[in-house]
Protein backbone atom coordinates (compact mmCIF):
# COMPACT_ATOMS: atom_id res chain seq x y z
CA UNK A 1 0.00 0.00 0.00
CA UNK A 2 1.16 3.55 -0.49
CA UNK A 3 2.78 5.46 2.34
CA UNK A 4 0.10 8.14 2.18
CA UNK A 5 -2.73 5.63 2.54
CA UNK A 6 -0.94 3.92 5.42
CA UNK A 7 -0.45 7.27 7.14
CA UNK A 8 -4.12 8.06 6.64
CA UNK A 9 -5.06 4.75 8.23
CA UNK A 10 -2.76 5.34 11.19
CA UNK A 11 -4.06 8.88 11.72
CA UNK A 12 -7.70 7.84 11.41
CA UNK A 13 -7.18 4.95 13.83
CA UNK A 14 -5.48 7.21 16.35
CA UNK A 15 -8.31 9.73 16.14
CA UNK A 16 -10.90 7.01 16.66
CA UNK A 17 -9.11 5.54 19.66
CA UNK A 18 -8.61 8.95 21.23
CA UNK A 19 -12.26 9.75 20.61
CA UNK A 20 -13.36 6.49 22.19
CA UNK A 21 -11.17 7.13 25.21
CA UNK A 22 -12.60 10.61 25.57
CA UNK A 23 -16.12 9.25 25.32
CA UNK A 24 -15.40 6.69 28.03
CA UNK A 25 -13.91 9.35 30.29
CA UNK A 26 -16.93 11.57 29.68
CA UNK A 27 -19.20 8.65 30.52
CA UNK A 28 -17.70 8.26 33.95
CA UNK A 29 -18.21 11.96 34.70
CA UNK A 30 -21.80 12.35 33.48
CA UNK A 31 -24.57 13.51 35.80
CA UNK A 32 -26.35 10.80 37.84
CA UNK A 33 -28.45 8.31 35.92
CA UNK A 34 -27.12 9.13 32.45
CA UNK A 35 -24.61 6.33 31.89
CA UNK A 36 -24.39 4.66 29.44
CA UNK A 37 -26.25 7.23 27.34
CA UNK A 38 -23.65 9.70 26.12
CA UNK A 39 -24.59 12.83 24.13
CA UNK A 40 -26.59 12.07 21.02
CA UNK A 41 -24.42 10.92 18.16
CA UNK A 42 -21.36 9.94 20.20
CA UNK A 43 -21.61 6.20 19.57
CA UNK A 44 -22.85 6.69 16.03
CA UNK A 45 -19.72 8.72 15.38
CA UNK A 46 -17.50 6.03 16.91
CA UNK A 47 -19.22 3.33 14.83
CA UNK A 48 -18.94 5.39 11.68
CA UNK A 49 -15.25 5.97 12.34
CA UNK A 50 -14.63 2.27 12.84
CA UNK A 51 -16.55 1.47 9.63
CA UNK A 52 -14.46 3.96 7.69
CA UNK A 53 -11.22 2.63 9.12
CA UNK A 54 -12.17 -0.98 8.45
CA UNK A 55 -13.01 -0.20 4.84
CA UNK A 56 -9.72 1.66 4.45
CA UNK A 57 -7.79 -1.19 6.04
CA UNK A 58 -9.41 -3.66 3.64
CA UNK A 59 -8.79 -1.46 0.64
CA UNK A 60 -5.11 -1.02 1.47
CA UNK A 61 -4.50 -4.60 2.54
CA UNK A 62 -3.75 -3.60 6.14
CA UNK A 63 -6.22 -6.14 7.57
CA UNK A 64 -4.76 -9.02 5.57
CA UNK A 65 -1.26 -8.01 6.57
CA UNK A 66 -2.19 -8.00 10.26
CA UNK A 67 -3.86 -11.39 9.98
CA UNK A 68 -0.85 -12.77 8.16
CA UNK A 69 1.58 -11.52 10.77
CA UNK A 70 -0.58 -12.74 13.63
CA UNK A 71 -1.31 -16.23 12.42
CA UNK A 72 -4.06 -16.41 9.81
CA UNK A 73 -3.76 -19.32 7.35
CA UNK A 74 -2.22 -18.71 3.95
CA UNK A 75 -5.51 -19.24 2.10
CA UNK A 76 -6.99 -16.29 3.97
CA UNK A 77 -4.08 -14.07 3.00
CA UNK A 78 -3.77 -14.72 -0.71
CA UNK A 79 -7.51 -14.78 -1.29
CA UNK A 80 -7.53 -18.12 -3.14
CA UNK A 81 -9.97 -19.82 -0.79
CA UNK A 82 -12.71 -17.21 -0.98
CA UNK A 83 -11.60 -15.02 -3.85
CA UNK A 84 -12.49 -11.42 -4.49
CA UNK A 85 -10.44 -8.25 -4.47
CA UNK A 86 -10.91 -4.66 -3.41
CA UNK A 87 -9.07 -2.08 -5.48
CA UNK A 88 -7.15 -4.98 -7.00
CA UNK A 89 -5.79 -6.16 -3.65
CA UNK A 90 -6.66 -9.74 -2.59
CA UNK A 91 -8.81 -9.91 0.52
CA UNK A 92 -8.24 -12.35 3.34
CA UNK A 93 -11.89 -13.41 3.36
CA UNK A 94 -15.16 -12.42 1.83
CA UNK A 95 -16.46 -11.18 5.17
CA UNK A 96 -13.46 -8.89 5.65
CA UNK A 97 -14.50 -6.99 2.55
CA UNK A 98 -18.08 -6.80 3.79
CA UNK A 99 -19.65 -9.77 1.99
CA UNK A 100 -22.24 -11.83 3.85
CA UNK A 101 -21.91 -15.60 3.39
CA UNK A 102 -25.11 -17.59 3.22
CA UNK A 103 -26.74 -18.54 6.51
CA UNK A 104 -26.27 -22.23 7.29
CA UNK A 105 -29.03 -23.94 9.31
CA UNK A 106 -27.66 -25.30 12.58
CA UNK A 107 -28.98 -28.49 14.13
CA UNK A 108 -28.31 -28.42 17.89
CA UNK A 109 -26.37 -31.40 19.21
CA UNK A 110 -26.44 -32.99 22.67
CA UNK A 111 -22.80 -33.95 22.17
CA UNK A 112 -20.76 -30.87 22.99
CA UNK A 113 -17.30 -30.05 24.30
CA UNK A 114 -17.04 -29.91 28.08
CA UNK A 115 -17.24 -26.80 30.23
CA UNK A 116 -13.51 -27.17 30.92
CA UNK A 117 -12.72 -27.32 27.21
CA UNK A 118 -14.75 -24.18 26.56
CA UNK A 119 -13.03 -22.28 29.37
CA UNK A 120 -9.56 -23.50 28.35
CA UNK A 121 -10.19 -22.42 24.75
CA UNK A 122 -11.50 -19.03 25.87
CA UNK A 123 -8.55 -18.51 28.20
CA UNK A 124 -6.06 -19.58 25.52
CA UNK A 125 -6.94 -16.34 23.74
CA UNK A 126 -5.15 -14.54 26.58
CA UNK A 127 -1.96 -16.60 26.43
CA UNK A 128 1.06 -16.64 24.15
CA UNK A 129 1.21 -20.07 22.57
CA UNK A 130 0.01 -23.23 24.21
CA UNK A 131 -2.72 -25.63 23.20
CA UNK A 132 -5.75 -26.35 25.40
CA UNK A 133 -5.77 -29.98 26.61
CA UNK A 134 -7.77 -32.37 24.49
CA UNK A 135 -7.57 -30.05 21.48
CA UNK A 136 -5.42 -29.26 18.49
CA UNK A 137 -5.37 -26.28 16.13
CA UNK A 138 -7.95 -26.41 13.34
CA UNK A 139 -5.77 -26.22 10.27
CA UNK A 140 -6.43 -24.69 6.87
CA UNK A 141 -3.57 -24.88 4.40
CA UNK A 142 -1.37 -26.15 7.21
CA UNK A 143 -1.93 -23.18 9.53
CA UNK A 144 -4.33 -22.57 12.38
CA UNK A 145 -7.50 -20.87 11.27
CA UNK A 146 -7.82 -17.48 12.92
CA UNK A 147 -8.55 -13.82 12.39
CA UNK A 148 -7.18 -10.56 13.74
CA UNK A 149 -8.66 -7.20 12.79
CA UNK A 150 -6.76 -4.28 14.32
CA UNK A 151 -9.49 -1.81 13.46
CA UNK A 152 -12.57 -3.50 14.95
CA UNK A 153 -10.72 -5.32 17.75
CA UNK A 154 -11.89 -8.76 16.59
CA UNK A 155 -9.48 -11.62 17.22
CA UNK A 156 -10.18 -15.35 17.32
CA UNK A 157 -8.63 -18.78 16.89
CA UNK A 158 -10.23 -22.09 16.00
CA UNK A 159 -9.59 -25.40 17.76
CA UNK A 160 -10.74 -28.96 17.18
CA UNK A 161 -11.33 -31.35 20.06
CA UNK A 162 -10.40 -35.02 20.24
CA UNK A 163 -14.10 -35.67 19.56
CA UNK A 164 -13.72 -33.78 16.24
CA UNK A 165 -15.76 -30.81 17.44
CA UNK A 166 -14.84 -27.28 16.43
CA UNK A 167 -14.50 -24.49 19.02
CA UNK A 168 -14.23 -20.90 17.81
CA UNK A 169 -12.65 -18.93 20.67
CA UNK A 170 -12.99 -15.14 20.58
CA UNK A 171 -10.52 -12.91 22.40
CA UNK A 172 -11.49 -10.62 25.27
CA UNK A 173 -10.41 -7.03 25.87
CA UNK A 174 -6.63 -6.36 25.95
CA UNK A 175 -5.79 -9.83 24.67
CA UNK A 176 -4.09 -10.71 27.96
CA UNK A 177 -0.47 -11.73 27.42
CA UNK A 178 -0.86 -10.80 23.73
CA UNK A 179 -0.39 -7.18 24.80
CA UNK A 180 3.32 -7.90 24.53
CA UNK A 181 3.10 -8.51 20.78
CA UNK A 182 -0.06 -6.66 19.76
CA UNK A 183 -0.84 -3.72 22.06
CA UNK A 184 -2.71 -1.72 19.42
CA UNK A 185 -5.72 -4.02 19.29
CA UNK A 186 -6.37 -3.46 23.00
CA UNK A 187 -7.30 0.14 22.22
CA UNK A 188 -9.83 -0.77 19.58
CA UNK A 189 -11.25 -3.49 21.81
CA UNK A 190 -11.89 -0.85 24.46
CA UNK A 191 -13.67 1.24 21.82
CA UNK A 192 -15.81 -1.81 21.06
CA UNK A 193 -16.59 -2.19 24.77
CA UNK A 194 -17.85 1.40 24.80
CA UNK A 195 -20.24 0.58 21.96
CA UNK A 196 -21.48 -2.55 23.73
CA UNK A 197 -22.21 -0.64 26.92
CA UNK A 198 -24.27 1.72 24.78
CA UNK A 199 -26.43 -1.25 23.74
CA UNK A 200 -25.26 -1.16 20.11
CA UNK A 201 -23.94 -3.94 17.88
CA UNK A 202 -20.31 -3.12 17.00
CA UNK A 203 -18.44 -4.30 13.96
CA UNK A 204 -16.45 -6.73 16.07
CA UNK A 205 -19.67 -8.68 16.60
CA UNK A 206 -20.77 -8.69 12.98
CA UNK A 207 -17.23 -9.62 11.96
CA UNK A 208 -17.28 -12.45 14.49
CA UNK A 209 -20.51 -13.68 12.92
CA UNK A 210 -19.14 -13.63 9.40
CA UNK A 211 -15.98 -15.38 10.56
CA UNK A 212 -18.06 -18.13 12.21
CA UNK A 213 -19.92 -18.70 8.95
CA UNK A 214 -16.63 -19.06 7.13
CA UNK A 215 -15.42 -21.52 9.77
CA UNK A 216 -18.57 -23.57 9.19
CA UNK A 217 -17.66 -23.73 5.53
CA UNK A 218 -14.08 -24.82 6.21
CA UNK A 219 -15.31 -27.38 8.74
CA UNK A 220 -17.70 -28.86 6.16
CA UNK A 221 -14.78 -29.30 3.78
CA UNK A 222 -13.17 -31.47 6.44
CA UNK A 223 -16.32 -33.49 7.11
CA UNK A 224 -17.46 -31.66 10.24
CA UNK A 225 -21.13 -30.72 10.36
CA UNK A 226 -22.43 -27.29 11.50
CA UNK A 227 -23.91 -28.96 14.59
CA UNK A 228 -20.39 -29.78 15.73
CA UNK A 229 -19.21 -26.16 15.58
CA UNK A 230 -19.30 -24.21 18.87
CA UNK A 231 -18.35 -20.74 20.09
CA UNK A 232 -16.79 -19.44 23.28
CA UNK A 233 -14.93 -16.51 24.75
CA UNK A 234 -14.40 -14.51 27.92
CA UNK A 235 -15.65 -10.95 28.53
CA UNK A 236 -15.66 -9.19 25.11
CA UNK A 237 -14.95 -12.58 23.55
CA UNK A 238 -17.93 -14.03 25.40
CA UNK A 239 -20.14 -11.22 24.10
CA UNK A 240 -19.02 -11.94 20.54
CA UNK A 241 -19.70 -15.66 21.07
CA UNK A 242 -23.12 -14.78 22.50
CA UNK A 243 -23.99 -12.65 19.48
CA UNK A 244 -22.80 -15.30 17.02
CA UNK A 245 -24.86 -17.95 18.80
CA UNK A 246 -27.91 -15.68 18.73
CA UNK A 247 -27.59 -15.09 15.00
CA UNK A 248 -26.71 -18.65 13.93
CA UNK A 249 -28.06 -21.06 16.53
CA UNK A 250 -24.56 -22.36 17.27
CA UNK A 251 -24.07 -23.78 20.75
CA UNK A 252 -21.41 -22.69 23.17
CA UNK A 253 -20.51 -20.97 26.43
CA UNK A 254 -19.77 -17.30 27.03
CA UNK A 255 -17.84 -16.48 30.21
CA UNK A 256 -18.76 -13.17 31.87
CA UNK A 257 -20.54 -11.62 28.87
CA UNK A 258 -22.86 -8.65 29.20
CA UNK A 259 -26.39 -8.89 27.92
CA UNK A 260 -26.94 -8.06 24.25
CA UNK A 261 -29.86 -6.44 22.42
CA UNK A 262 -32.65 -8.73 21.31
CA UNK A 263 -32.64 -9.28 17.55
CA UNK A 264 -35.30 -9.77 14.92
CA UNK A 265 -32.76 -11.79 12.91
CA UNK A 266 -31.96 -14.25 15.72
CA UNK A 267 -31.72 -17.82 14.47
CA UNK A 268 -31.33 -19.61 17.80
CA UNK A 269 -33.47 -20.09 20.88
CA UNK A 270 -30.57 -20.07 23.33
CA UNK A 271 -31.27 -23.57 24.64
CA UNK A 272 -27.76 -24.71 23.68
CA UNK A 273 -25.86 -21.62 24.81
CA UNK A 274 -24.81 -20.81 28.39
CA UNK A 275 -23.80 -17.46 29.89
CA UNK A 276 -21.57 -18.10 32.91
CA UNK A 277 -21.73 -15.08 35.23
CA UNK A 278 -19.89 -14.77 38.55
CA UNK A 279 -21.71 -13.13 41.44
CA UNK A 280 -20.16 -9.70 41.94
CA UNK A 281 -18.69 -9.26 38.46
CA UNK A 282 -19.71 -5.86 37.02
CA UNK A 283 -19.31 -7.05 33.41
CA UNK A 284 -21.32 -10.27 33.40
CA UNK A 285 -24.02 -8.65 35.53
CA UNK A 286 -24.39 -5.72 33.13
CA UNK A 287 -27.71 -6.86 31.72
CA UNK A 288 -31.44 -6.34 32.07
CA UNK A 289 -32.19 -9.96 33.03
CA UNK A 290 -29.98 -10.07 36.14
CA UNK A 291 -30.97 -8.21 39.27
CA UNK A 292 -28.12 -6.54 41.08
CA UNK A 293 -26.43 -3.84 39.02
CA UNK A 294 -29.24 -1.37 38.47
CA UNK A 295 -29.37 1.60 38.02
CA UNK A 296 -25.89 1.36 36.51
CA UNK A 297 -27.11 -1.44 34.24
CA UNK A 298 -30.28 -1.29 32.09
CA UNK A 299 -33.56 -1.55 33.99
CA UNK A 300 -34.20 -5.00 35.41
CA UNK A 301 -36.84 -7.09 33.68
CA UNK A 302 -37.16 -10.71 34.86
CA UNK A 303 -37.28 -13.67 32.53
CA UNK A 304 -34.48 -12.96 30.06
CA UNK A 305 -36.17 -9.74 29.06
CA UNK A 306 -35.69 -5.99 29.05
CA UNK A 307 -33.46 -3.93 26.79
CA UNK A 308 -30.24 -5.95 27.23
CA UNK A 309 -30.86 -9.59 28.22
CA UNK A 310 -28.36 -12.38 27.99
CA UNK A 311 -28.92 -14.72 25.08
CA UNK A 312 -29.13 -18.29 26.30
CA UNK A 313 -29.17 -19.86 29.74
CA UNK A 314 -27.74 -17.77 32.59
CA UNK A 315 -25.71 -19.78 35.10
CA UNK A 316 -24.52 -17.88 38.16
CA UNK A 317 -21.40 -19.15 39.92
CA UNK A 318 -19.45 -18.15 43.02
CA UNK A 319 -20.96 -16.88 46.25
CA UNK A 320 -24.40 -15.19 46.16
CA UNK A 321 -23.46 -12.69 48.89
CA UNK A 322 -20.93 -11.16 46.49
CA UNK A 323 -23.88 -9.93 44.45
CA UNK A 324 -24.91 -7.83 47.43
CA UNK A 325 -21.48 -6.22 47.39
CA UNK A 326 -22.02 -5.26 43.74
CA UNK A 327 -25.53 -3.98 44.42
CA UNK A 328 -24.31 -1.78 47.24
CA UNK A 329 -21.45 -0.47 45.12
CA UNK A 330 -23.70 0.77 42.34
CA UNK A 331 -26.41 2.06 44.65
CA UNK A 332 -24.44 5.30 44.92
CA UNK A 333 -24.71 5.97 41.20
CA UNK A 334 -27.83 8.13 41.56
CA UNK A 335 -26.57 9.85 44.71
CA UNK A 336 -24.73 13.10 43.97
CA UNK A 337 -21.44 13.74 45.68
CA UNK A 338 -18.29 11.86 46.45
CA UNK A 339 -20.03 8.50 46.74
CA UNK A 340 -20.98 8.61 43.08
CA UNK A 341 -17.44 9.47 42.07
CA UNK A 342 -16.18 6.30 43.76
CA UNK A 343 -18.45 3.98 41.77
CA UNK A 344 -16.14 3.51 38.72
CA UNK A 345 -13.18 2.76 40.97
CA UNK A 346 -15.22 0.32 43.03
CA UNK A 347 -16.41 -1.46 39.91
CA UNK A 348 -12.81 -1.75 38.73
CA UNK A 349 -11.88 -3.42 42.03
CA UNK A 350 -14.80 -5.83 41.71
CA UNK A 351 -13.74 -6.66 38.14
CA UNK A 352 -10.25 -7.54 39.34
CA UNK A 353 -11.77 -9.73 42.03
CA UNK A 354 -14.53 -11.55 40.15
CA UNK A 355 -14.10 -11.06 36.39
CA UNK A 356 -10.85 -12.83 35.51
CA UNK A 357 -10.86 -16.39 34.08
CA UNK A 358 -8.98 -17.74 37.08
CA UNK A 359 -11.98 -16.93 39.25
CA UNK A 360 -14.36 -18.79 36.95
CA UNK A 361 -11.94 -21.73 36.83
CA UNK A 362 -11.87 -21.90 40.64
CA UNK A 363 -15.64 -21.64 40.98
CA UNK A 364 -16.16 -24.37 38.35
CA UNK A 365 -13.47 -26.67 39.74
CA UNK A 366 -11.31 -26.41 36.61
CA UNK A 367 -7.51 -26.39 36.38
CA UNK A 368 -6.84 -23.92 33.57
CA UNK A 369 -4.47 -24.85 30.77
CA UNK A 370 -2.62 -23.10 29.23
CA UNK A 371 -2.08 -20.54 32.00
CA UNK A 372 -1.87 -16.82 31.39
CA UNK A 373 -0.13 -14.20 33.51
CA UNK A 374 -3.38 -13.10 35.19
CA UNK A 375 -4.87 -16.55 35.73
CA UNK A 376 -3.80 -16.72 39.36
CA UNK A 377 -5.33 -13.33 40.11
CA UNK A 378 -8.81 -12.57 41.44
CA UNK A 379 -11.01 -14.14 44.09
CA UNK A 380 -10.37 -17.83 44.70
CA UNK A 381 -12.82 -18.11 47.58
CA UNK A 382 -16.14 -18.60 45.83
CA UNK A 383 -18.43 -21.60 46.26
CA UNK A 384 -17.25 -24.35 43.93
CA UNK A 385 -19.68 -25.94 41.48
CA UNK A 386 -17.55 -28.75 39.95
CA UNK A 387 -18.88 -28.71 36.40
CA UNK A 388 -15.70 -28.99 34.33
CA UNK A 389 -16.53 -32.39 32.87
CA UNK A 390 -20.10 -31.55 31.87
CA UNK A 391 -21.36 -31.03 28.35
CA UNK A 392 -23.69 -28.06 27.82
CA UNK A 393 -26.93 -30.05 28.41
CA UNK A 394 -25.40 -31.72 31.47
CA UNK A 395 -24.21 -28.34 32.78
CA UNK A 396 -27.68 -26.82 32.55
CA UNK A 397 -29.37 -29.90 34.00
CA UNK A 398 -26.94 -30.14 36.93
CA UNK A 399 -27.31 -26.46 37.70
CA UNK A 400 -31.07 -26.71 37.58
CA UNK A 401 -30.99 -29.67 39.95
CA UNK A 402 -28.58 -27.97 42.35
CA UNK A 403 -30.72 -24.84 42.62
CA UNK A 404 -34.19 -26.27 42.19
CA UNK A 405 -35.06 -23.79 39.44
CA UNK A 406 -34.41 -23.50 35.73
CA UNK A 407 -31.04 -21.95 34.91
CA UNK A 408 -32.76 -19.38 32.67
CA UNK A 409 -34.70 -18.08 35.67
CA UNK A 410 -31.72 -17.67 37.97
CA UNK A 411 -31.32 -13.97 37.22
CA UNK A 412 -34.16 -13.16 39.64
| Residues 71-109: tens digit of each pLDDT | 444 333 332 222 222 222 222 332 333 333 344 445 555
Per-residue pLDDT at 183: 79
Q: Which of the residue ranges 134-138, 255-259, 394-398, 407-411 would you say has the lowest mean pLDDT?
A: 407-411
What secondary structure, in 3-state letters, does the chain show?
Answer: CCHHHHHHHHHHHHHHHHHHHHHHHHHHCCCCCCCCCCCCCHHHHHHHHHHHHHHHHHHHCHHHHHHHHCCCCHHHHHCCCCCCEECCEECCCCHHHCCCCCCCCCCCCCCCCCHHHHHHHHHHCCCCCCCCCCEEECEECCEECEEECCCCCCEEEEEEECCCCEEEEECCCCCHHHHHCCCHHHHHHHHHHHHHHCCCCCHHHHHHHHHHHHHHHHHHHCCCCHHHEEEEEECHHHHHHHHHHHHHCCEEEEECCCCCCCCCCCCCCCCCEEEEEECCCCCCCCCCCCCCCCCCCCCCCCCCCCCCCCCCEEEEECCCHHHHHHHHHHHHHHCCCHHHHCHHHHHHHHHHHHCCHHHHHHHCCCCCCCCCCCCCCCCCCCCCCCCCCCCHHHHHHHHHHHHCCCHHHCCC
Residue with the larger pLDDT of the pair 203 and 338: 203
Q: Is residue 313 very low, low, confident or very high in pLDDT (cuts 50, 70, 90)?
A: very high
Per-residue pLDDT at 316: 95
Per-residue pLDDT at 14: 40
Residue with the larger pLDDT of the pair 106 and 267: 267
Give mean pLDDT, residues 334-355: 80
Give mean pLDDT, residues 345-351: 89
Amino acid sequence: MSESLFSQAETALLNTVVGAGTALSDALALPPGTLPFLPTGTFAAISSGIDTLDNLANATGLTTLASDLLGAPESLINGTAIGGTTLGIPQSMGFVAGAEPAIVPIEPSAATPTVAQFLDAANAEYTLGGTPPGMRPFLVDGRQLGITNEITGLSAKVWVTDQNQIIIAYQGTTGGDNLLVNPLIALTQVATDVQIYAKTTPQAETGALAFAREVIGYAAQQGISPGSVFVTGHSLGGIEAEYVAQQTGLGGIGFEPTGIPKSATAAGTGANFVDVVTYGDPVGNYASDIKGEQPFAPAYAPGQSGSLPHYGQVVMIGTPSDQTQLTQAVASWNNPGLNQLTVPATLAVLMAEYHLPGTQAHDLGIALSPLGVSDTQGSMNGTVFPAGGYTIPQFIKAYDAAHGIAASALAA
